[in-house]
Each structure stands twice: as structure tokens, then as C-alpha cells.
Amino acid sequence: MIMNRFSSGEPLNGIEKGPDLYVDPLYNLIHGEFKVEVVQLPPILFHCKLYREEVTSELVEVIKYFKELMAIICKSAESSFPLILGGDCCTSNVASLMGLAKVYGEIFLVHFDAHGDYNTPDTTITGFLGGMGLAALTGEWKLIQKLMQNKYTLKKENLLILGCRDLDPNEKVLLRKSGIRITSTRELTSKRYIIRELMDELKIKNKKIHVHIDPDVLDPVNVNSMHYKVPNGLTLKKLTKIIQEILRKNHVVSFSINGLNPLESKAKEDALKIAKFIAETTSKII
Ligand SMILES: [Mn+2]
């Protein structure tokens, strides 16, 4: 388990302590079944706002953190199954995929999120780096790769975004142009075998898969301690079923999940629900 205690700042202040909520319940649930090693990074909260592709001093610090996390994930993937507890999405995705690619080469990313994380410094409204991770990873904007001195780019056909229902206007245009496959909660809940069909259609049979979950893919009625509460999400039961379907025929090599907001009143209760879900899911993969 890798504790990625990172927040790229407003509006996700506090998420750097998100992994702390999961780690004990999760450890207790899985350590009998597997040999579990916990790697902790110190909690770190940045105030990194990007409105154009410029190298700010905060961004330089963020990149240092990304590199450190990437090396840890890479080392972990060489001999075990990295289970990455976030932190916000951008670190998980950028560092995870770059680290995994060193070990496995081509990687397919299944990304569960109410959001697209497909803003660039040009399209963003908030300047929030956490909302730009997938656009950076797929080379839609290139500053991150340049600063990381890492040319790895996730091919757009190797990305599937599930449960997406809250996009900024310009982000929506960019995503539509990219051709990336996005499936809304409505689609996921309306058709019984949509995931099986999607996975077949995407021809990922022989590819290694990284699964990332932002808990805001869930409905706030189900789990309420995420920073963004976006209505019409998935139930935990439906999410479990979809993941089981993904696992049925495919090779998942690692898993990451974003943090909850520790300041929410039900944070501990919700973290336990999610820890049980992760334990149940990963026990079928590892
Ligand atoms: Mn999100």
C-alpha cells in the first residue's frame, strides 16, 4: 500500500490526509490474506494554480513529488501489486502510469470519476491542477512530461472514463474532440452488459490495466464524504459489479483510489465502507 498524501490545493485542501482514513481499516482487512507493506509519503498540500503553461515554483515542487511517487510505484510494481491510496487524482494518474509503464510498457487506464480531469491550463476555470491530470497524461498539454523528463504519454485509445457527469464547458469540447471513450452513470446503469461489451470493443484483452477510482463516482446518498458531491452517481454495489466484470477476463496490475475529505462528519464511517470495497475487489485481483 502506498500512501500518496498529496493535494494540489484549493478546492481539495485536506485530501492529503485522505489516505490516513483508509490505511488502518484496509490493513486490518487484508494483511492476513496478503503480505502487506505500507509505504508512507509525508502529507503535502500545495497551492498550485495554473492558468497557462508556465513553470511556477509550486509546480517545480509538485514535479519533485510526482517523481518520488513514480519511483516508489515503479519499484512496487516490479515485485508486487501497487495499491495506491490518494491524495488527488493527478498524482495518482500521472505518477502511477509513468511508474507502471516502466515495468509493463503499454498500460490501459480505467478511470472512474464524476469528472473528466481533462482541463488544460488554457481551458481551466479554477486553475486546479487536479482537474488536468488526464489531459497531461495523454499529451493534451505537455509541460508535465517535459518537467518530469519523461516522454511517456498514455494513448487516448488506452483510456476509458466511467461514471463521468460533471464537465466544464471547454473541457467537454476538448474531451469530445479527443475521441476518448466516456461512459456516463446513466449508460452504466441502464444496460446490463455494457461493461463487457465495452471491454471487448476496446480490445484490451492482452493489455495490462490500471484501475483508478475517484470516490465522487459514487452517489452522495451512498458515500457522502468526498469533496465534490455530484448527484446521480453509482451505488457501491453497482461499482463493485462493474469492477468484477472488468476483472473477469482482464489483467489488472494495480489499483488507486482518491482520498475522502477527513473534515466531513461521516468520513471514518465512509472510509470503512470503501476499505471493505477495496479489500473485496483487490482480493480477487492479487
Ligand atoms: Mn472527481
Q: What is the CATH number of the domain that holds 127?
A: 3.40.800.10
The secondary structure of the chain in percent helix, strand, coil, rounded to multiples of 5, reads: 45, 15, 40
Contact 1, 36 (CB under 8 A): yes
**The amino acid at 2:** I
- Alpha-carbon distance of 89 to 76, in angstroms, equals 19
Tell me the CA–centroid distance for residue 205 and ligand 1, in Å.
27
Number of domains composing the chain: 1
**How far does the centroid of ligand 1 lie from the alpha carbon of residue 261, in Å?**
12
Distance 216 CA to ligand 1 centre (A): 5
> What pLDDT does 14 receive?
86
Which residue segment(s) compose the domain that 40 sits in? 2-283
Whole-angstrom distance, CA of residue 3 vs CA of residue 36: 13
Reported as a pLDDT band with limits 50, 70 and 90, residue 282 is: confident
| Predicted local distance difference test score (pLDDT) of residue 4 | 94
Separation CA 177–CA 242 (nearest Å)? 27
Q: Ligand 1 centre from 214 Cα, in Å?
A: 5
Residue 262 and residue 16: Cα distance in Å, rounded? Answer: 9
How high is the pLDDT of residue 115? 95
Percentage of the chain modeled with pLDDT above 70: 100
Distance 32 CA to ligand 1 centre (A): 32
| d(CA 115, ligand 1 centre) in Å | 5
C-alpha cell at 141: 498539454
- pTM exceeds 0.75: yes
pLDDT band at 12 (very low <50, low <70, confident <90, very high): confident
CA of 2 to the centre of ligand 1 (A): 20
pLDDT of residue 127: 92
pLDDT tens-digit readout, 198-220: 888 787 777 899 999 999 999 99
Write the DSSP string, 198-246.
Answer: HHHHTT-TTSEEEEEE-GGGB-TTT---SSS--SS-B-HHHHHHHHHHH
14-73 pLDDT, tens per residue? 889 999 999 999 999 998 888 999 999 999 998 889 999 899 999 999 999 999 999 999
How many A from CA of 223 to the centre of ligand 1?
14
Say if residue 157's pLDDT is above 90.
Answer: yes
User: Cβ neighbours of residue 64 under 8 Å, at least 6 residues apart?
Assistant: none
